[in-house]
Amino acid sequence: MSTTTTIVTQGDRRIRRSSRRVEPIYYLFLLPVLALFTVAITVPAIVGIFFSFTNSIGIGDWEFIGVTNYLAAFDDPAILQSYLFTFGFSLVTVVLVNVVALLLAVGLTSRIRFTTGLRAVFVIPMVVSGIIISYVFNFLFSNSLPEVGAALGIDALSTSILANPDLAWVAIVIVTAWQAIPSALLIYIAGLLSIPGEVYEAADIDGASKRQQLMRITLPLVAGYVVINIILGFKNFLNAYDIIVGLTGGGPGTATRSVAMTIITGFNGGDYAYQMANATIFFVVAILVAALQLSVTRGRNSL
């Protein structure tokens, strides 16, 4: 990439203008990525959207049926339930993850012993497969926790909460947050370490308490990192699948079936075109949510 500087004279003023010319070699390096993205993502997406207007089951003959699948999806109680569960679960998990991760980050950047070792311990869940984590917690919720609840005489915990339609979502939130907290924690630690120490020293001299420093210095200066974690977390939780499969399989009944799980289950059950319409609707909804998040946060918090 080369930069060309041009000096333009306007009256008594001389204005310096810089223009960047992109070398062709950069486009050569970009082509393989664009080709891979097009073949692996763009083309399948376009094909899927096309088949959402048909009655295809994924193989064999098909007929064009227009927007029938979309109209049916809007009237399908199972699909509407999956959207309600997915968005409710995502909101609760985003709040829990960011609150816990920020508190841990504040503690792990303070002057305590073994901070390096503790940071390594807290990021372990991030590198473990979600399906493995869910199977481990499935055993705990189905066996260990009921035994503890029975021993303590707590009726609500004496049976597996995974079999309770009103409490199964709580288990999913806990396990998802347990795996998601480390990535948010690392972002918050980076944000806290970027705050100059002189700011806190000046606050100490002025007599500010630790609570005042947290509310008036730390939180405003890491607000941009909070925005990043909220956007990334909400995007990831909307696509929740593997942990739900390992914990509840979408049950009891369909109480914990996410949108992603509904779509994939439909693909395997022969509802290819119908669930492709559902996937297209979900894609549009996700784009709208992302646009809303960006419009709300743009210009307010920056790193």
The model's pLDDT over 4-63, given as tens digits with 9 standing for 90+, comes to 545 555 555 555 555 667 788 888 888 999 999 999 989 999 999 999 999 988 888 899
Band of residue 299 on the pLDDT scale cut at 50, 70, 90: low
Q: Is the pLDDT of residue 194 over 70?
A: yes
Q: Is the pLDDT of residue 80 over 70?
A: yes
> How confident is the model at residue 21, as a pLDDT?
74
> How confident is the model at residue 79, as a pLDDT?
92
In b/e form, how buried is each residue of 169-204, taking b as 16+ CB within 10 angstroms? bebbbebbbbbbbbbbbbbbbebbeeeeeeeeeebe
> How confident is the model at residue 7, as a pLDDT?
52
What's the farthest any 2 CA atoms get from each other in the chain? 89
> How confident is the model at residue 292, as a pLDDT?
83
DSSP code per residue over 78-116: HHHHHHHHHHHHHHHHHHHHHHHHHHHHHHHTSS-TTHH
> How confident is the model at residue 116, as a pLDDT?
74
Supply 38's token pair.
């097009």
Tell me the angle at which helices 272-297 and 43-51 cross, rounded to the nearest 10 degrees.
120
Q: Is the pLDDT of residue 81 over 90?
A: yes
Q: Is the pLDDT of residue 208 over 90?
A: no
> How confident is the model at residue 210, as a pLDDT?
80
The residue that leads in pLDDT, 109 or 69, is 69
Band of residue 138 on the pLDDT scale cut at 50, 70, 90: very high
Span 106-125, mean pLDDT?
Answer: 79
Q: What's the angle, vertex CA 92, arms to CA 124 and CA 179, rounded to 5?
A: 10
Question: Mean of the per-residue pLDDT values for the chain?
Answer: 85
Query: Can you tell me which residue has the tokens 């303070």?
Result: 110
Band of residue 300 on the pLDDT scale cut at 50, 70, 90: low
What pTM did the predictor assign?
0.82
> How confident is the model at residue 25, as a pLDDT?
83
Q: Is the pLDDT of residue 96 over 70?
A: yes
Poorest-confidence range of 84-93, 102-111, 230-239, 252-261? 102-111
Band of residue 211 on the pLDDT scale cut at 50, 70, 90: confident
The model's pLDDT over 219-262, given as tens digits with 9 standing for 90+, comes to 888 888 988 898 889 889 999 899 999 999 888 888 999 999 99
> How confident is the model at residue 196, as a pLDDT?
86
Q: Cβ(278)–Cβ(259) under 8 Å? A: yes
Q: Is the pLDDT of residue 93 over 90?
A: yes
Band of residue 174 on the pLDDT scale cut at 50, 70, 90: very high
| Cα–Cα distance for residue pair 207/216, rounded to 1 Å | 13
Q: Is the pLDDT of residue 163 over 60?
A: yes
Return the SS3 of 271: coil
Q: Is the pLDDT of residue 191 over 80?
A: yes
> How confident is the model at residue 117, as a pLDDT?
76
**Domains observed in the chain:** 2-51 (no CATH), 71-297 (1.10.3720.10)
DSSP category for residue 38: I
The burial of 71, by beta-carbon neighbours within 10 Å (0-12 exposed, 13-18 middle, 19 or more buried), is given as exposed
15: enclosing H helix or E strand: strand 13-21
Tell me the angle at which helices 77-108 and 223-238 cross, rounded to the nearest 10 degrees.
150
